[in-house]
Amino acid sequence: MAAPVDANQSLTVGAALMYRATRLEVALFPTADLAQYASSGGSGAANPSGNTRFTVRPVIREFTAPLTPSAALDAITAILAEHAPRATLAGIGLALDATIEQRAPDPSAAPEHPAAPEHPVVTMGKLASWQAVPLVALLRERFGVPAAIATLPEALLLGEVWFGAARGARSAVLVDVGRTVAAAIYEQGRLVQRPFVGQIGHLPVAATGPRCACGGVGHLEVIASAQALVRRCIGALVEAPATEALARQLAGGRLEALRVAQIWQMACAGDPVATALMGAANDALAFVALFLLMTLDAEYLVFSGPLIHASTARPSHLEGAPDLPAAANWIQAIRDEVGQLAPPQRSADLARRIVSATLHQRGAIWGAAALPGMARSS
Encode pLDDT of 75-98 as tens digits: 999 999 998 888 899 999 999 999
pLDDT band with cut points at 50, 70 and 90 for residue 362: confident
Q: Name the pTM for this structure.
A: 0.88
Query: How far does CA 13 lie from the centroid of its chain?
Result: 18
Q: Where are the domains of the chain?
A: 10-164+360-377, 171-356
Report whether 364 contacts 95 (CB < 8 A). yes
| Residue of 163, 222, 101, 170 lying closest to 357 (CA atoms) | 163
Q: Which architecture characterizes domain 10-164+360-377 according to CATH?
A: 2-Layer Sandwich (3.30)
Q: What is the pLDDT of residue 210?
A: 85
Task: List, in order, residues 6 or more apart from 117 with CB less than 8 Å away.
Answer: 105
Q: Which architecture characterizes domain 171-356 according to CATH?
A: 2-Layer Sandwich (3.30)
Q: What is the pLDDT of residue 118?
A: 63
Task: Say yes or no: do domains 10-164+360-377 and 171-356 share a fold.
Answer: yes
Rounded-to-10 torsion of CA 167, 173, 178, 181: 170
Q: What is the mean pLDDT of residues 10-25?
A: 95
Q: Is the peptide bond before 4 cis (omega within 30 degrees of 0)?
A: yes
Taking the C-alpha atoms of residue 174 and residue 163, their distance in angstroms, rounded to an integer, is: 14
pLDDT greater at residue 312 or residue 172: 172
Beta pairing, strands 190-191 & 181-187 = antiparallel
Residue 320: CB atoms within 10 Å:
9
Tens digit of each residue's pLDDT (9 = 90 or more) over 238-294: 999 999 999 999 999 999 999 999 999 999 989 999 999 999 999 999 999 999 999
Q: What is the pLDDT of residue 112?
A: 46
Q: What is the pLDDT of residue 103?
A: 75
pLDDT band with cut points at 50, 70 and 90 for residue 108: low
